[in-house]
């Protein structure tokens, strides 16, 4: 969801990257990009709004989280907290967690402007600073999960902090998009690499030689296995269709592609 972000000169590679290196790259990357991200997408997201992805499907329409009123809710990769603010407006006790300090500063700015505050902490999806069984719902809207290398830890952490029967819901780039160039035009409709190649997408800063951005890919089957292994039962897999008349381009997401291939996958799973 951030493929349109401006970068210093980088070279793109495919190679293994561990959790420490992913985090070292993605935290500062989101700090650098946060101002532009909020300026470009803030209005579409809505200060007190919950969209699951560039197609614009809202939680009010999708109802993937289940009831949130009077529930303890954690958003992982909360960014500026728009989704958590919407949950709060519905009566839920939502709190946010994000790796980027600058994103959390935007969250605070919007708290003050909107009058709906989201308590938020700086942290990572693979090490949640909360006691076991603290939440009824854990969710993530394009936050964290595709940026994490140790995904079994992140899914395990969601399970650990959920109460029995609690819901884990998250959106990610639809795994089938991995096959295509990240191009919103017709080039982006031509499969050019293997769906089964999980080698991470890596950007390396040309000047410093440091990894500056990482994304990790898992197939649909990988996600089903990850959830089952962590003790979840998969309840729904939502693949939002591109709405008629929706012409907004967001990175590699566009009507040109969205009319043919799914761009977002939303999983909802309950802890057994
Ligand atoms: C595409 S933004 C989504 C934010 C928000 N949900 C939204 O829709 O605007 C991805 C967010 O994930 C955060 N993130 C990346 N890696 C993370 C990690 N390991 N743990 C927690 N958050 C992470 C980034 O800092 C960024 O704010």
Residue 2 belongs to some domain of the structure: no
Average pLDDT over residues 113-118: 98
Residue 166 belongs to some domain of the structure: yes
Residue 97 three-state SS: strand
The model's pTM = 0.96
60 Cα–ligand 1 center, Å: 21
pLDDT, residue 9, reads 87
Neighbours of 57 (CB within 10 A): 21
Query: How many whole angstroms separate alpha carbon 115 and alpha carbon 89?
Result: 10
For position 199, which CATH number holds?
3.40.50.150
Give the end-to-end CA distance of the chain in Å, rounded to a whole number: 31
Residue 73 belongs to some domain of the structure: yes
Query: How many whole angstroms separate alpha carbon 197 and alpha carbon 11?
Result: 19
pLDDT, residue 5, reads 53
Q: Is 141 in the pocket of ligand 1 (CB under 6 A)?
A: yes
Residue 55 belongs to some domain of the structure: yes
42 Cα–ligand 1 center, Å: 14
76 Cα–ligand 1 center, Å: 7
The residue to which tokens 């997401």 are assigned: 253
Q: Is 254 in the pocket of ligand 1 (CB under 6 A)?
A: no
16-38 pLDDT tens trace: 999 999 999 999 999 999 999 99
Locate the ligand 1 atom nearest the alpha carbon of residue 125 and give its number. 20
Residue 61 belongs to some domain of the structure: yes
Residue 5 belongs to some domain of the structure: no
Average pLDDT over residues 52-60: 98
Q: Is 26 in the pocket of ligand 1 (CB under 6 A)?
A: yes
Locate the ligand 1 atom nearest the alpha carbon of residue 103 and give its number. 27
Residue 2 has pLDDT above 90, yes or no: no
Q: Which helix (H) or strand (E) holds 35?
A: helix 19-45
Residue 1 belongs to some domain of the structure: no
Strand spans (E) along 32-91:
72-76
The count of structural domains within the chain is 1
Q: Which domain holds residue 55?
A: 10-271
Residue 3 belongs to some domain of the structure: no
Average pLDDT over residues 164-187: 98
Beta bridge partners of 101: none
Q: Is 154 in the pocket of ligand 1 (CB under 6 A)?
A: no
Residue 3 has pLDDT above 90, yes or no: no
79 Cα–ligand 1 center, Å: 5
CB-CB contact of 103 with 110 (8 Å): no
């Amino acid at each position: 969801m951030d493929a349109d972000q401006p970068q210093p000169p980088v070279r793109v590679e495919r190679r293994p990257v561990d959790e420490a290196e992913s985090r070292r790259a993605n935290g500062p990357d989101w700090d650098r990009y946060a101002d532009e991200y909020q300026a470009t997408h803030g209005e579409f997201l809505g200060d007190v709004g919950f969209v699951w992805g560039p197609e614009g499907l809202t939680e009010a329409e999708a109802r993937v989280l289940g009831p949130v009123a009077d529930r303890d809710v954690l958003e992982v990769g909360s960014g500026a907290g728009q989704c958590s603010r919407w949950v709060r407006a519905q009566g839920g006790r939502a709190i946010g967690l994000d790796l980027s300090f600058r994103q959390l500063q935007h969250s605070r700015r919007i708290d003050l402007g909107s009058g709906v505050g989201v308590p938020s902490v700086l942290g990572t999806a693979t090490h949640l600073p909360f006691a076991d069984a603290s939440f009824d719902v854990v969710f993530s809207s394009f936050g964290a999960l595709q940026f994490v290398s140790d995904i079994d830890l992140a899914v395990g952490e969601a399970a650990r902090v959920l109460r029995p029967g609690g819901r884990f819901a998250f959106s990610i780039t639809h795994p089938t998009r991995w096959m295509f160039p990240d191009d919103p035009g017709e080039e982006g409709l031509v499969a050019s690499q293997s769906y089964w190649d999980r080698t991470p997408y890596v950007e390396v800063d040309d000047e410093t030689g440091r990894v500056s951005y990482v994304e990790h890919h898992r197939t649909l089957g990988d996600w089903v296995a990850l959830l089952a292994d962590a003790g979840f039962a998969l309840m729904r897999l939502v693949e939002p269709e591109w709405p008629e008349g929706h012409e907004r381009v967001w990175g590699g997401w566009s009507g040109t592609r969205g009319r043919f291939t799914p761009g977002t996958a939303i999983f909802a799973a309950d802890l057994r």
